[in-house]
């Protein structure tokens, strides 16, 4: 039988790691989204406020904004997961139980 305390600890460690990685990814992606937005607006201004020829750039800008929102949602969902570290499970060995029963008889 698997040790529940070990599994709970593994879940806790993995959750922390995922949250940390998502925070780093979010930070980098936020920088990317900001840079794409700035460059798109610059190109849009140079193009006399017309999208003609900037369709791909516009799609990239939209995709970055959408992905950043998705990343933020994922980070919030994982952060809201219940922390199981407060639970301590004491498991007894079945052979010890049987031995106790035999000794009692």
Mean pLDDT of the chain: 86
Residue 12 CA, chain-centre distance (Å), reads: 13
Does the structure show a pLDDT above 90 at 26? yes
Among 101, 79, 84, residue whose Cα is nearest residue 92: 101
First to last CA, the chain: 27
Please write the tens of the pLDDT for every residue from 43-68. Answer: 999 998 898 888 998 999 999 999 99
The model's confidence at residue 6, banded by pLDDT at 50, 70 and 90, is confident
What CA–CA distance (Å, rounded) separates 37 from 98?
A: 69
* Contact criterion met (CB below 8 Å) for 4 and 39: no
Please write the tens of the pLDDT for every residue from 74-98. Answer: 999 999 988 777 767 766 666 666 6
**How many CB atoms neighbour CB 22 within 10 A?**
19
């Amino acid at each position: 039988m698997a040790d529940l305390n070990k599994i709970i600890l593994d879940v806790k460690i993995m959750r922390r790691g995922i949250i940390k990685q998502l925070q780093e990814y979010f930070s980098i992606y936020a920088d990317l989204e900001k840079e794409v937005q700035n460059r798109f607006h610059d190109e849009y201004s140079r193009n006399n406020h017309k999208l003609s020829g900037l369709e791909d750039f516009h799609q990239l800008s939209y995709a970055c904004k959408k992905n950043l929102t998705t990343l933020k949602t994922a980070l919030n969902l994982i952060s809201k997961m219940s922390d199981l570290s407060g639970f301590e499970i004491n498991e007894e060995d079945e052979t010890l139980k049987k031995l106790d029963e035999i000794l009692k008889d």
